[in-house]
Amino acid sequence: MSFIEDVLHFEICRDELYALVWSFPGLALARRFNCSETYLRRVCKALDVPRPARGWWTQGQTGVAVCAPPPLPPLKPGCADRWTRGCSLRRWQRHRISRPFSSAHDLHPLVELATAIFNGAKQSTDETHLLTRSRDAIDVTTSRAALRDALTLANALFKALESSGHTVRVAEAGAGFIRPTLDNDCGLPIRLGRTRATVWAPRAPTITFVSGVPIGLAFMEIRREVLKRYSGNGQFQLASEKKPVYGLSWTEWRPEPSHRFKIIAYSPHFPNPWQREWSETRRKTLVRAVVAVVTELEERARTLPHAGFFL
């Protein structure tokens, strides 16, 4: 079986697709892939693979000088690195992120994208965290007031990981990674009832690869329990406030953002549970500890319960 016949039955990576599109005319290659030329162009666009311009093959056959194939660009964070026949395509957000990671830039590309996503996100009903359905959102649970601090923390950790050679990306659909249920409490809730409140979860986990071992990452604003008084129209105020309340009223313990954060690292591979948390006791202190977080992940990566599946 030839190489091109072999790849039709499996998945194909960007390098292989790049070699094929510059070795065979688009229509002929599409027929071998048993798809239309239009769909093949979509695959190339989804994987950020350059392909010959219209007329390139005809000019070469008639002896007209043609431009050399451009190099395959580096894989961008969040961009698919392979295509599996029968799986849906997810188009790369070229208009949002246009550069790979560089330590010279202030913001990591994923944080640049997250800034646009979360600035347009809506709030949860209890106003404790932001909600988005974007497939490209990193795993950040935060109130709107603390969004800047949350993204600053994520940016610091992402840059520390990438500078140490550990790629960070939002997992692709079908990659096989899971994101377990996480909570933003600091310990078990005491007064908020028997069950924890449901918080937002991303559509895809944020993954870093440390020594080849995938590790999930989440950033969560810690919530606290505050005694509040119902003030009407679905609103609550602090029970200690002296502002008079008219009509039916009562007091109850409610969750409230604390502006303190925790980083959660976890196993994204089922069924091998592992989780590690780093929490702030004072605001904006965890951002100074990201190097220590990276060092600990490097020391533990090869000994994690799921490491054997990837080493």
Peptide bond into 271 cis (omega under 30): yes
Give the C-alpha separation, 292 to 288, whole Å: 9
**Is pLDDT of 79 > 70?**
no
Question: Using only C-alpha atoms, what is the Rg of the chain?
Answer: 24
User: How would residue 97 be classed by pLDDT, with cut points 50, 70 and 90?
Assistant: very low
Give the pLDDT score at 197: 56
**Which has the minimum average pLDDT: 112-121, 228-237, 261-270, 285-294?**
228-237
Calculate what percentage of the chain has a pLDDT beyond 90: 40
Question: Mean pLDDT, the chain, as a whole number?
Answer: 83
Angle between helices 14-21 and 37-46 (to 10 degrees): 140
Give the C-alpha separation, 138 to 206, whole Å: 6
**Is pLDDT of 105 > 70?**
no
Average pLDDT for residues 32-59, to the nearest whole number?
A: 87
Residue 254 and residue 226 in contact, taking contact as beta carbons nearer than 8 Å: yes
The better pLDDT of the pair 125, 190 is held by 125
**Which has the minimum average pLDDT: 22-31, 78-87, 126-135?**
78-87
Residue 40 and residue 32 in contact, taking contact as beta carbons nearer than 8 Å: no
Give the pLDDT score at 108: 93
- How many residues appear in the chain? 311
- Dihedrals φ, ψ of 278, to 5°? -125, 120
Residue 129 and residue 137 in contact, taking contact as beta carbons nearer than 8 Å: no
Per the structure block, which two tokens stand in for 124? 């949860």
**Is pLDDT of 281 > 60?**
yes
CA 44 to the chain's CA centroid: 22
The better pLDDT of the pair 231, 101 is held by 231
Average pLDDT for residues 86-108, to the nearest whole number?
A: 59
Highest mean pLDDT among 70-84, 116-130, 140-154, 251-265: 140-154
Residue entry with tokens 């949002």: 96
Query: How many CA within 13 A on the CB side of residue 247?
Result: 6
User: How would residue 92 be classed by pLDDT, with cut points 50, 70 and 90?
Assistant: very low
Per-residue model confidence as pLDDT tens digits over 154-194: 999 999 999 999 999 998 876 788 999 998 876 555 565 54
> In Å, how far are 109, 111, 119, 133 from 116, measured between CA atoms?
11, 9, 5, 13
Highest mean pLDDT among 9-23, 234-248, 254-268: 254-268
Give the pLDDT score at 311: 58
Sign of the CA dihedral with 258 first, then 263, 268, and 272 last: negative
SS3 per residue for 78-134: CCCCEEECCCCCCCCCCCCCCCCCCCCCCCCHHHHHHHHHHHCCEECCCCCCEECCC
Query: How many CA within 13 A on the CB side of residue 31?
Result: 4
**Which has the minimum average pLDDT: 11-15, 49-53, 57-61?**
57-61
Residue entry with tokens 């919530």: 223
Give the pLDDT score at 280: 94
Residue entry with tokens 């490097």: 298
Give the C-alpha separation, 274 to 285, whole Å: 25
Give the pLDDT score at 234: 76
